[in-house]
Structure 1
Amino acid sequence: MKKIKPNPNSSEIEKARNLMRWATKAYIATELSSNTKPPDAPGGKATTVEDSHPYASLSLVALDHNATPYMMLSDLADHSQNMAQNPKTGMLFDGTAGYRDPLAGGRVTLIGTMQKVNNDRMLQRFLTRHPASKLYAGFKDFSLYRYDIQEAHLIGGFAKAIWVSAKDFRLDCTKSQELIEAETSIIDHMNSDHSDAISVIAEKTLQLEPSKWRMCGIDPEGWDLHNGHIHARCSFDQLVTNASEARNALVSQTKQARAS
């Protein structure tokens, strides 16, 4: 993953959301206790744990349009069983790739709770971002989980750290329902009819290697693309709220890329 270069005119909250939207994975911290799972549970249990301990793990992540994280987890996994006992969960997004000194890069730590949900739209968004997950999405023990942010800790490098409430951190999408409803059709249209535009933006604007780049998501702040192995993101200059505004923004980005 290349170094994330946010718009210098963006606020710290916008930079943090951009970092999270770039991410394909996140680290989660749950509470592991001695009574979380029985000894004969699949995978066994930690036999020497007599009280509670923080338990860190890693999973794929996809963000909703307002920046709410979602994960698809196995109910048999230790972190899922931990959350069934105590939904309080920490989440870390790491944006330090490409930095000679990782501590100079950005990261976002979230405090909140994780709960299992049924959300067909968000499940489709997750699978579009992570196509390989379709292999196990239908398994009975896999479920979609939503992370409800309580507060966010934004770290932009040395001596750059602030706490932000969920209300201030999440993107207000009340005026973006048309875009949300049109997302699947926009993605299908771009991938089937404008793959050349996606490629020129990927190669000229984002400086990515030539490949079969495909759009895999769009939200008011930008759009996501991948080639089957690498994910990337292209931000909009201003928020888009509907299909028409998205089209105008994508046309403008394509023209700029071709002129570069």
Structure 2
Amino acid sequence: MSENPSSASSLRCLMRMANHTTLATIASGHTQVSDGWPVTSMVVHAIASDGTPLLLISELADHTRHILADDRVSLLFAPPPILAGGVSGIETDTARLTVFGRAVRDDAPAIRACYLRANPDAAQYADFADFGFYRVSVDAAYWVGGFGKQRRLPGDKLILPDCQALIDGHDDIVAHMNADHLDALSDIVGHFNNADPNTGWKMHAIDCDGMVLTAKTGNPDMLRIDFPAPIRTPGDARDILVEMYKKSRA
């Protein structure tokens, strides 16, 4: 990941780190406030390979009814708090990112697969008749990194273009790494993370900014390792993984 906390790659990683997002919609037919009132709710998201936010929401929810009337939304992302000295409630990381865009229903298989890879438990209700997948087409973003630290950027600077080849090749990359290169993944974990490298790491997912690994025992359910630079194609994925493996063995 870029060392610049306001770079596009760092902002995409901030979105991926967040375990939920605050969704703001415009009230329409709400039972408590008049039309046009701003309404917020908490939703669980996923981030597509190129950085596009994805949602799985129910038509029974107020926010979905609002979106069907007016698709303009805002999403507020913040990483899990870093606690000073392990003392509960003292947050030392105040970075947050607001994304402005339009929520569009999209049940494409690739979007469904991406969302369920990030949120496996959602498979229990993803096929309910009232649920649907939505992608947020990003118009703009606003980052605040603390007092006096901010950046505003258009959506086409946040979302990485030309990632379709990586999306299409996702499953083949994962299958290849897990069939032939588990030793390389273990070495990469040992070099780029402080997790135990000897617990059977396998690739779970890959995107333009990094990869998610899972292990059989003794580690978090999912471990994310960011890449030193964004990738767009399976060839880029091969090159960056080879580079990281070589560094881990040096």
The 5 Å alignment of 1:25-36 reads 25-33=20-28, 35-36=29-30
Is 1:134 paired with 2:123?
yes
2:188 aligns with one of 169, 183, 201: 201
**TM-score under structure 1 length normalisation:** 0.79
Q: Secondary structure at the match of 1:128?
A: helix
Q: Where does residue 62 of structure 1 map in the other structure?
A: 46
Q: Percent same amino acid among aligned pairs?
A: 29
Corresponding position of 1:76: 60
C-alpha change, 1:167 and 1:117, in structure 2 (3 Å) is same
Aligned length: 241
Structure-2 residue corresponding to 1:7: 2
Q: Contact (CA 8 Å) 2:14, 2:77: kept in 1 or not?
A: yes
Structure 1 residue runs of 5 or longer lacking an equivalent are 1-5, 37-45
Q: Does the 8 Å CA contact 2:6/2:151 hold for their aligned counterparts?
A: no
Cα separation, partners in 2 of 1:69 and 1:51, compared to 1, 3 Å: closer
The equivalent residue for 1:183 is: 170
Q: Provide the secondary structure at the position in 1 that maps to 2:50.
A: coil
Unaligned runs of 5+ in 2: 85-89
Name the CA shift for 1:205/1:234 in 2 (closer, same or farther; >3 Å): same
Residue in 1 that maps onto 2:208: 220
Partner of 2:108: 119
Q: CA deviation at 1:96?
A: 5.0
The CA deviation at 1:162 is 1.7
Deviates more, 1:247-256 or 1:69-78: 247-256
- Residues 1:166 and 2:155 aligned together: yes
Shift of 1:258: 4.8
Distance 2:237 2:9 in 1: 19
CA distance in 1, matches of 2:36, 2:231: 45
Counterpart amino acid of residue 178 in structure 1: A
> Contact 2:6–2:143 at 8 Å: present in 1 too?
no
TM-score by length of 2: 0.82
